Every structure is written in C-alpha cells, then in structure tokens.
Amino acid sequence: MNRRSFLLSGLTFGAAAALVKLPLASAANLDRRTGAKATAAGGPIKKVVKTDAEWKRLLTKEQYHVMREKGTEAPYASPLTKAYAKGVYQCVGCSLPLFSSQAKYDSETGWPSFWQPIAKQNVREAVDNDLAETRTEVLCARCDAHLGHVFDDGPKPTGLRYCMNGVALKFVGKG
C-alpha cells in the first residue's frame, strides 16, 4: 500500500464514520412515506386547518382570543393552574396531546406550567417580539394555536418553564 492509497482509505473511513453519527434530518421523528413529523404515539402529525369562521364556531370568545389572536388569559383564572390529577393536557383546538401531568409543577406564576412537552414534536416554537423583551412562543404543532411561552427559569431536569394558557388546554384524566 502506497502513501496515496493509505491517505485515501483513511479519508474514506473518516467520512463514513462521520456520516453514521449524523441525525440525517431527524429520521426517527419522520414518517417514512410522507416525511411528516411524528406524534407521541409515533404517527405523523396531520395539520388541522380551519377558517376564522370555523374557529369562532368551535372556540369560546376567550379561547379564540388566546389561541388565534395570541392573547393571554388572566393569571390564576384557569382551574388547571392548581389541578394535579394524573392525565394528559391536550390542545383545545385539535386534541393533540401536549403535556403530561407528570411534568406539571406549581411555578407560582398563575398559569399552568410544565417542565417539558409530552413530545417535543407536538409543540412548535417561534420568536415573539410583541413586548419589550423577546420571548419564545409555544404553538400547537397540529393546528398552530397559540398556547403560551417557554422560559429558561424552570426546574430540573430541563430548566424550562412552559407557561401555558389554561383556556388553550383540556385535561383528559387517566381513569
């Protein structure tokens, strides 16, 4: 083996080893047929698209204001703030599972708070510059409903506080 062959085989081996470690478009979270993101149950997230008129018929005025117009409910207004039964918190607009009661905690902020979503692909994040400070908005990955914001002042193990509007969530208990 000459020096050139040795160097080429070394480069080829190194490139192959590097490619094996790449997450290649997060293939574990994609449906192989459609390329859609997967839900917590493993299936693809199919988008829910409705007109404003349809959302207004489906949601209460307060839910519409929060979820479609990016409003905020009053602190301590939601009964979900102090609810700690076992179960899952779903999106009011499309029933996508968003948070588990196992990740819920009392942040003493007046809104239901969680330290992680039930599945990262079930929520979407966006930059929110509506106030003087830049915040990270949290939206439902299926119907794009505004849910609240995520902050980096939460408890371990994530250090995150998903501060959600209770009117955007519905609780489904484990019976």
Q: Report which residue type is found at 151.
A: F
Residue 154 has pLDDT above 50, yes or no: yes
Tell me, yes or no, if 91 is annotated catalytic. Answer: no
| Alpha-carbon torsion, ordered 35, 70, 84, 44, to 10 deg | -10
The mean per-residue pLDDT over the stretch 45-69 comes to 97
The confidence score (pLDDT) of residue 12 equals 47
Identify the CA nearest to 74 among candidates 109, 49, 30: 109
| List 94, 140, 143, 163, catalytic entry | 163
Q: Encode pLDDT of 30-55 as tens digits.
A: 333 333 444 555 567 899 999 999 99
Catalogue all structural domains in the chain, each as residue range(s) with its CATH number.
52-173 (2.170.150.20)
Least confident residue range of 31-35, 49-53, 107-111, 140-144: 31-35
Q: What is the pLDDT of residue 174?
A: 87
